[in-house]
Copies of this chain bind each other. A is one copy, B any other.
Amino acid sequence: MTAPSPSGAAALLPALKFDRDGLVAAVAQQHDTGEILMLAWMNREAVEQTLATGEVTYYSRSRRKLWRKGETSGQRQRLVELRVDCDGDTLLLLVDQRGAACHTGTRSCFFRAVRDGALARIAEPIVDPKTLYGAEA
């Protein structure tokens, strides 16, 4: 359990290779079950805030701003450990996810699979998405 770790950013940032948009990919995995929850993006500031606070913060490419996971929906991600890949352009976030990671209300965003030649739904919502974002849903 290393988070929050403000000093971790100083160690990590030189190892990162941000893309032409200033972003690295970040895969969130539930730390104890191994379930993959989602993939999102981080800029330098999102990495710093995540390590400083222990609350996972992404960069929203559509809204073009920082987005602390769960700030609207309440479905927060607490950082347990941050890992980085060999070429420094992808992060693996071991997290403790409260509730549903997906905006559709499923635990994981990966709720569809190719099975028997079709695209099958393999998980149902655990939270009503209407309750996550109020009138926006």
Contacts and interface: CB of A to CB of B under 8 A. Distances in A.
Interface centre among A39, A81, A84 (most CB of B within 10 A): A39
A35 B58 CA distance: 23
Contacts of A87: 109
Q: How large is the interface on A (under 10, 10 to 19, 20 to 34, 35 or more residues)?
A: 35 or more
Interface string A100-123: 001110100111111111110010
A137 interface: no
Interface in A78-104: 81-87, 90, 92, 102-104
A49 interface: no
A117 B5 contact: yes
Copies in the complex: 2
A39 B11 contact: no
A15 interface: yes
A83 B36 CA distance: 11
A29 interface: yes
A85 B39 contact: yes
Nearest to A94: B113
Interface of A: 2, 5, 7-8, 10-12, 15, 25, 27, 29, 33-36, 38-39, 51, 81-87, 90, 92, 102-104, 106, 109-119, 122
